[in-house]
Structure 1
Amino acid sequence: MEEILGIAGMSSDIIHLRGGGTRNEFFCQILSSASNTSVYGGPVEAAAVGNILVQARAHSKIDGIEEGRRLVEEEMDIRRWEPERSERWKEAKKRMKDLIK
């Protein structure tokens, strides 16, 4: 993730994870800790929710993407995982970088 963001000239302190993978709390916590980044997970049915929002916009039921985002944040189950900040994760990251070289 760091390399991709670096190449793109961007930075981020949040990962947004959507879909069924967000049901796996263990995966979400490991992703957060391994990346040292907050992970926001949900909605589980992101594709269906996106489809509904597109249709709502097409039928003038919502004004635009910002309103759709607000609705999702207010009405859907969005969870947050924070990284475990420990030496163990720093060591694992260093080992992974050494393997990639």
Structure 2
Amino acid sequence: MTIQTAKLSDPAVRAFVTAVNARDREAFLALLAPGATMADDGSDRDLDEWIEREIFSSHGHLDVDNESRDGRALVARYCNDTWGEMRTRWSFVVEDDGRISRFETGQA
């Protein structure tokens, strides 16, 4: 059963999912702390290159199935034009100012 994005517990994670699904690059980038980092399947990636390829140019979309760690860990069905749909896990580090300093994703 999918969790409605508006009901996700953590405000930064909720805004992240909202920005991905709206393909709103400006809102997405505003959520990230300066120097933010990310990893995909355990390997650090170039953040700007990854989000362009995996989210924005390929029409990425997240449907969240469940959350844990006070909303900072998700299991979601992620789909984009490149890979189709896959079950993924997402984990977020959110700073005191509410911005995301790191996120990690990979196959669930």
Q: If the length of structure 1 is used for normalisation, what is the TM-score?
A: 0.23
Structure with greater Cα Rg: 1
* Greater fraction of residues in helix: 1
Flag the structure with higher strand content: 2
TM-score (norm 2): 0.22
